[in-house]
Structure 1
Amino acid sequence: MGHNIALNFEDGVTRFINCDASETVADASYRMGINIPLDCRDGACGTCKCRVESGEYDGGSYIEDALTDEEAAEGLALACQMRPRTDLVVGILASSEVCKTRGQSFQARIGSVEKLSDTSIAFTLEGAGPISFLPGQYVNVLVPGTEARRSYSFSSPPGAETQSFLVRDIPHGLMSSFLRGAAPGTPIEFVGPSGSFYLRDARRPLLFLAGGTGLAPFLSMLGRIAAEGSAQPIHLVYGVTNDADLVGVDRLEEYAARIPGFTFATVVAAEASAHPRKGYVTAHIAPEQLHGGEVDIYLCGPPPMVDAVRDWLAAQGVTPANFYYEKFSPSGAVNAIGETHRAAA
């Protein structure tokens, strides 16, 4: 059966390939028509240098001019030499267009639509079958009857027969307006998966910070963790503006019962709230949840939240081992280095 290899390109597109343990990642890529950078195939030029973000592999043989010991220790490898021992996530140092590939297109249909609050809608898609993606990633959904696309993170785990999403309800938003009247069975198309915000191998404690419908990718991550387990403690702080915006708490409670070491707290910003925890998420992060900086922080929320958390960490004198974040905005999608702005409706 071989191993499942996720190829992450610089433009955020992810393609999955199957790679036999006896073949190199480069050979498997070209077999699938994905032309990753490649020249000599002998481990001598370094053209196919890539970053292995998770998984185990045999790095093969090469000369130091192509890959130094320091680079190999940092997780770099040569695709023409490396052979997988497990499933891998590999960062390709080129765009998908350069590699003559693009995101996959899927045909599905609306399964269900549920208005969870004045500001949130949950919907499911059926008919596309199980889809491979990295928990935390998103797809670009074509709004039926238009040429516009909106980007939404999966709230379901990879491999589920039905894909689920949690999105913000915008009063005059194209997708929101469609969903309010969408009937089950309505055809819908989406392309993906995409995004550099996804769950990495848990080598240290995890701190998840979600703002509003930024909870969606964390539900997907927790679904994967519940299925595979984790030896690391995980704490999630979920912040919203008003009491009615707190949705999906039942799923968090379910995961807290299923995942040893997972805890969560909900926070409401509005002064008039009757919620026991009020204010911003940073006011409800305990020092012990930062583990002295030996922690991987994942954050998904609006741009002001991301900036506020970054400033707060600096004020605490804490530099986390890793800080992965995704900014989203209802105004549209804007690409920037190191982050993804996603349309909310």
Structure 2
Amino acid sequence: MTFNITLRPSGRQFQVETNESVLAAALRQGIGLPYGCKNGACGSCKGAVLSGAIEQAAHSASALSNDEKLQGMALFCCATPTSDLELKVREVAGATDMPARKLPCRIHALERVADDVMVMRLQLPAHQKLQYFAGQYIEFILKDGKRRSYSIATPPHHDGPLELHIRHMPGGVFTDHVFSAMKERDMLRFEGPLGTFFLREESTRPIVLLASGTGFAPLKAIVEHMIFKQIERPISLYWGARRGKDLYMAELAQQWAQALPHFSFVPVLSEPAPEDNWQGRTGFVHQVVVADLPDLSAYEVYACGAPVMVEAALRDFTGQHNLPPENFYADAFTSEVDLANSLT
């Protein structure tokens, strides 16, 4: 059995097969719905069910609250129709222009840049080039079929290996292997590009880039893409971490700030160590943003990193500091542990 889906306000239509999620069907048919994690953890694919009925699978309570469910909201990555549907959702122009592919790759280099951060560089097969938007991610396909997602830190014009920034999650099957046994020339397989977190080049608004931890990776790709394309919109990069050593590429960001008159970099530490001799900003990184920019009505925000940071930024920026919700773009880095601990 198939069900017909109508999107508002565009009026576009597509069909969903039995036991297929709304998002999976849309992507299969070239419909650009917003999404991030695809597993009910980040909330990027949230929209309203105007008419019809769905079954909502297990998901993070922070991605979709009970109050939002009562208001007719749903997460389309884990919502299966039980009737024809009419949905209100913000479609993403260009999201299907870079179709995902499955590709083999070889570990070109592994560079440990912090105690718990590895820069991994991937070499694609000869004559193969991955086309993607700055900010998108790939998913490694593990031998048991499970997947692990990592943002691409290199810009799309880059001809060398793809760069990923991988944080060690102790007890995590994949990252334990990366930090203990993986070596150069090992083979992996991935699918990509994925996600709708990428630079909206048609806009002229000033930009706030907001990162925690390895959320710096896709923002690095965005900045380097803008430099290459000579896009000179004002950019303010706020990068938050616990201690100084966690800002593992701070020198690169400082170089951008020195070279680009329209670029500023604000590093923020929440728990600076004595050896940091820290004279900079402290606290929660999203709160430092609003201390500097109390009125965000004219801005676009690209936020990436820990789910708690992304959620707090969305809540405060749109609820108290005038940021239009449609100008908030996010990629929350949800781990398997995060999802397991928060499913409802």
* TM-score of the aligned structures, taking structure 2 as reference length: 0.65
Which consecutive unaligned segments of at least 5 residues does structure 1 have? 1-8, 16-33, 38-49, 52-74, 77-87, 335-340
Matched, 1:103 2:100: yes
Contact between 1:13 and 1:195, CA under 8 Å: does it hold in 2? no
The count of aligned residue pairs is 255
Q: How does 1:1-345 map to 2 (within 5 A)?
A: 11=23, 36=30, 89-91=93-95, 103-128=100-125, 129-143=128-142, 145-160=143-158, 161-180=160-179, 181-201=181-201, 202-270=203-271, 272=273, 274-276=277-279, 277-285=281-289, 289=293, 292-314=296-318, 316-320=320-324, 322-331=327-336
Normalized per residue, which structure has more helix?
Answer: 2
1:160-200 deviation per Cα after TM superposition (whole angstroms, max 9, x unaligned): 23100012111222222222222211111110111011111
Query: One-letter code of the match for 2:220?
Result: L
Query: One-letter code of the match for 1:217?
Result: P
d(CA) in 2 for partners of 1:112 and 1:178?
15
Q: Cα distance, 1:102 vs. partner?
A: 7.0
3-state SS in 2 of match to 1:215 = helix
Aligned position for 1:55: none
Contact between 1:207 and 1:235, CA under 8 Å: does it hold in 2? yes
d(CA) in 2 for partners of 1:13 and 1:218?
29
d(CA) in 1 for partners of 2:309 and 2:118?
21
Contact between 2:208 and 2:236, CA under 8 Å: does it hold in 1? yes
Contact between 1:154 and 1:164, CA under 8 Å: does it hold in 2? yes
Q: Cα distance, 1:287 vs. partner?
A: 5.7
1:216-241 deviation per Cα after TM superposition (whole angstroms, max 9, x unaligned): 11011011011001231100100012
d(CA) in 2 for partners of 1:147 and 1:263?
42
Query: One-letter code of the match for 1:114?
Result: E
d(CA) in 1 for partners of 2:25 and 2:205?
27
d(CA) in 1 for partners of 2:332 and 2:170?
21
Contact between 1:14 and 1:193, CA under 8 Å: does it hold in 2? no
d(CA) in 2 for partners of 1:258 and 1:331?
39
1:82-112 deviation per Cα after TM superposition (whole angstroms, max 9, x unaligned): xxxxxx95356xxx9xxxx973011110011
d(CA) in 1 for partners of 2:144 and 2:296?
49
d(CA) in 2 for partners of 1:268 and 1:135?
26
Query: One-letter code of the match for 1:244?
Result: K
Contact between 1:212 and 1:238, CA under 8 Å: does it hold in 2? yes
Q: Cα distance, 1:136 vs. partner?
A: 0.6
3-state SS in 2 of match to 1:329 = coil
d(CA) in 1 for partners of 2:206 and 2:153?
22
Note closer, same or farther for the CA distance 1:307–1:127 as it changes in structure 2 (3 Å cut). closer
Contact between 1:239 and 1:281, CA under 8 Å: does it hold in 2? yes
Q: Cα distance, 1:134 vs. partner?
A: 0.8
3-state SS in 2 of match to 1:285 = helix
Aligned position for 1:42: none
Over aligned residue pairs, what C-alpha RMSD do you find?
Answer: 3.3
3-state SS in 2 of match to 1:293 = coil
Contact between 1:13 and 1:193, CA under 8 Å: does it hold in 2? no
Larger mean Cα displacement after TM superposition, 148-157 or 319-328: 319-328
Which consecutive unaligned segments of at least 5 residues does structure 2 have? 1-13, 15-21, 34-89
Q: Cα distance, 1:327 vs. partner?
A: 1.2
Contact between 1:313 and 1:319, CA under 8 Å: does it hold in 2? yes
3-state SS in 1 of match to 2:94 = strand
Query: One-letter code of the match for 1:330?
Result: S
Q: Cα distance, 1:253 vs. partner?
A: 2.6
Contact between 1:14 and 1:194, CA under 8 Å: does it hold in 2? no
1:141-177 deviation per Cα after TM superposition (whole angstroms, max 9, x unaligned): 124x543321000011113231000121112222222
Query: One-letter code of the match for 1:125?
Result: L
Q: Cα distance, 1:245 vs. partner?
A: 1.2
Note closer, same or farther for the CA distance 1:194–1:13 as it changes in structure 2 (3 Å cut). farther
Query: One-letter code of the match for 1:104?
Result: R
* Fraction of identical pairs, as percent: 25
